[in-house]
């Protein structure tokens, strides 16, 4: 059973999320249906990050064990052919050893959160950005973000249904930068709690509006209590951009 | 009747085009419905370029005469409010004189055509780019494009149903550049024939694949015959990016 590592891009808008669920189409389901068409077998695909409904990916990584030794190029082309017209694409495929696991071998995940910061709502980027029309102080957001860097108990930014054993995580990067009409928040860590990026962005938004200081952000982290944090930012602005191994 | 100039952005995918038609939703129809909600009157909106079905805009310009003197900011905000959730946005609104006409005052139009040039099909940019997976010689495309610059009879690149009185146009710019995984073709002229940009891109594609030389492009132009040109590139890669007055 040769193992293939897949670099996957998708538009999360029409999906219930990465994971197969009873209530709608999932990215995993679309990929697994294509694998059945390729080789006739129902085979589970594993991903580095189980993104939520509406969350996009430009750099998701998954793996699958196929019953036969296909050229990697054939795997990529055949899966893409069978997935059309779903907005999911295998950008690269590569044969890897049995010891590679998309989720457990990962040592870093990168996310981008896009905020459209202009008076007019998004048209071309509907469901791809969070629209915030008010003035936002990006320098203040970036300063407050630095208070979250490091090894901490991130309970304040953890979803209630998060299944991680511990709320302790090490945040390696959290930056807010203005890019044209947008503000880009980039987050990097070995791994994240459920909703951690969206909860951090929702809280940074309060700083950007001038409601919160950087000190308040540090206090919220200290509180280790979800009620001390800001709201959960919408899924459509979030992109899983890369996974490190 | 104060006149307002509107800078309009839209995703052309769900529309039959700019122009109101019986067979589906149009950008003009969405805007005019919002004007009715704003002021209670059915008022025609005029645009600089009547884009086709599936063609997008980041810089369409339109004008409308309203029965009452609203602050421009109110016009922008109210139209956007009433157009939601359609993927159309008024990015700017400005009160202008009666002598301004979105179509007839325009002295230049700019278009961008996006080609996704990678092995994997688009996922996030489905319906936003033309996917060409084969190797393309961008330098050759750009060289051939230069043969079309200037004042010419563009019949070779003119749609059969084009209603312009003359096939003579002056092409000011046509460039092909690699931008990451994409090739961007930028076209600028005072005005274009119907399908001219898409027909030029469809022909440049033949050059990129190595099927046509730059000389063949010049000969095709000389032929002044649609049958001498290449195919019409799909609408989803095309963006009206700006209008000059």
Q: Which CATH number does the domain housing residue B180 bear?
A: 3.30.70.660
Given this model, what pLDDT does residue A1 score?
87
Containing A140, the helix (H) or strand (E) segment is helix A138-146
A120 touches chain B (CB under 8 A): yes
Give the C-alpha separation, A178 to A51, whole Å.
25
Catalytic residue chosen out of the listed positions B22, B52, B65, B215 = B52
Are B115 and B41 part of one and the same domain? no
Per DSSP, what are the bridge partners of residue B4? B64, B95
Are A26 and A76 part of one and the same domain? yes
Mean pLDDT calculated for residue range A65-89: 97
Given this model, what pLDDT does residue A82 score?
98
Single out the residue in A50, A76, A96 at which a domain terminates.
A96
Do residue B121 and residue A80 have CB atoms under 8 angstroms apart?
Answer: yes
Residue B143 to residues A4, B118, B187: CA-CA distances in angstroms? 41, 22, 14
Are A88 and A115 part of one and the same domain? no
In this structure, of A21-25, A60-64, A176-180, B187-191, the range with the lowest mean pLDDT score is: A21-25
Please report whether residue B159 resides in a domain: yes
Give the C-alpha separation, B20 to B26, whole Å.
5
Are A61 and A128 part of one and the same domain? no
Residue A122 to residues B17, B101, B245: CA-CA distances in angstroms? 19, 26, 25
Please report whether residue A103 resides in a domain: no
Pull the structure tokens for residue B21. 């038609």
Task: Give me the domain span that covers residue A30.
Answer: 3-96
Single out the residue in A31, A65, A96 at which a domain terminates.
A96
Are A20 and A112 part of one and the same domain? no
Are B59 and B116 part of one and the same domain? no
Are A68 and A181 part of one and the same domain? no
Among partner residues A91, A118, A120, which is closest to B120 by beta-carbon distance? Answer: A91
Q: Residue A47 maps to which CATH number?
A: 3.30.70.580
Please report whether residue A102 resides in a domain: no
Q: Which residues of A touch B89 (CB under 8 A)?
A: 120-123
Are A59 and A164 part of one and the same domain? no
Give the C-alpha separation, B147 to B169, whole Å.
14
Given this model, what pLDDT does residue B100 score?
98
Residue A192 to residues A146, A151, A169, A171: CA-CA distances in angstroms? 16, 12, 7, 8
Are B145 and B239 part of one and the same domain? yes
Mean pLDDT calculated for residue range A35-60: 96
Q: How confident is the model at residue A127 (pLDDT cuts 50, 70, 90)?
A: very high
Q: How many CB atoms lie within 10 A of CB B63?
A: 20
Which residues make Cβ contacts (< 8 Å) with residue B241, sequence separation at least 6?
B57, B58, B59, B110, B111, B112
Q: Which residues of B touch A11 (CB under 8 A)?
A: 123-124, 126
Are B215 and B137 part of one and the same domain? yes
Q: How many domains does chain B have?
A: 2
Given this model, what pLDDT does residue A73 score?
96
What are the φ/ψ torsions at residue A49 (nearest 5 degrees)?
Answer: -135, 125
Please report whether residue A118 resides in a domain: yes
Please report whether residue B101 resides in a domain: no
Q: Which residues of B touch A127 (CB under 8 A)?
A: none
Residue A207 has pLDDT above 90, yes or no: yes
Pull the structure tokens for residue A20. 């197969």
Instruction: Say what percent of chain B tops pLDDT 70.
Output: 100
Single out the residue in B36, B67, B96 at which a domain terminates.
B96
Pull the structure tokens for residue B135. 């190797």
3-state secondary structure of B172: strand
Pull the structure tokens for residue A169. 């995580």
Q: Which residues of A touch B124 (CB under 8 A)?
A: 9-11, 56, 58, 87, 128
Please report whether residue B191 resides in a domain: yes
Query: Is A172 known to be catalytic?
Result: no
Given this model, what pLDDT does residue B75 score?
98
Please report whether residue B102 resides in a domain: no
Please report whether residue B103 resides in a domain: no
Residue written as token pair 């069978």: A82
Nearest CA in chain B to A118: B91
Are B128 and B81 part of one and the same domain? no
pLDDT digits (tens, 9 = 90+) for A148-193: 999 999 999 999 999 999 999 999 999 999 999 999 999 999 999 9
Q: DSSP assignment of B26-73, as one string?
A: -HHHHHHHHHHHHHS-----EES--PBTT-EEEEEEEEEE-SS---HH
Strands B108-116, B130-131: pairing kind: parallel
Give the C-alpha separation, A236 to A13, whole Å.
7
Residue A9 to residues A28, A62, A110, B119, B123: CA-CA distances in angstroms? 12, 11, 14, 13, 6
B241 touches chain A (CB under 8 A): no
Helix intervals (H) in chain B = 27-39, 72-83, 138-146, 196-208, 214-223
Are A143 and A165 part of one and the same domain? yes
Helix intervals (H) in B71-195 = 72-83, 138-146
Longest dimension (CA), chain A: 58
The pTM of the full predicted model, rounded to 2 decimals, is 0.94
Given this model, what pLDDT does residue B1 score?
87
Which residue ranges of chain B lie beneath pLDDT 70?
none
Nearest CA in chain B to A87: B123
């Amino acid at each position: 059973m040769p193992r293939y590592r897949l670099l996957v891009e998708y538009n999360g808008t029409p999906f219930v999320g990465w994971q197969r669920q009873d209530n709608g189409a999932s990215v995993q389901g679309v990929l697994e249906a294509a694998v059945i068409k390729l080789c006739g077998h129902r085979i589970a695909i594993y991903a580095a990050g189980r993104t939520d409904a509406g969350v996009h990916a430009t750099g998701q990584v998954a793996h699958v064990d196929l019953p036969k030794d296909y050229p990697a190029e054939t795997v990529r082309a055949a899966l893409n052919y069978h997935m059309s017209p779903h907005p999911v694409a295998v950008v690269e495929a590569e044969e890897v050893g049995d010891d590679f696991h998309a989720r457990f071998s990962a040592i870093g995940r990168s996310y981008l959160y896009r905020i459209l910061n202009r008076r007019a709502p998004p048209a071309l980027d509907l469901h791809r950005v969070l629209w915030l029309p008010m003035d936002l102080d990006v320098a203040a957001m970036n300063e407050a973000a630095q208070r979250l860097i490091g090894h901490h108990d991130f309970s304040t930014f953890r979803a209630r249904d998060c299944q991680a054993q511990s709320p302790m995580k090490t945040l390696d990067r959290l930056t807010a930068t203005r890019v044209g009409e947008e503000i880009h928040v980039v987050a990097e860590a070995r791994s994240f709690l459920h909703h951690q990026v969206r909860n951090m962005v929702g809280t940074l938004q309060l700083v950007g509006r001038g409601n919160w200081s950087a000190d308040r952000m540090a206090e919220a982290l200290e509180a280790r209590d979800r009620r001390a944090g800001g709201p959960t930012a919408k899924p459509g602005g979030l992109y899983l951009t890369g996974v490190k191994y």
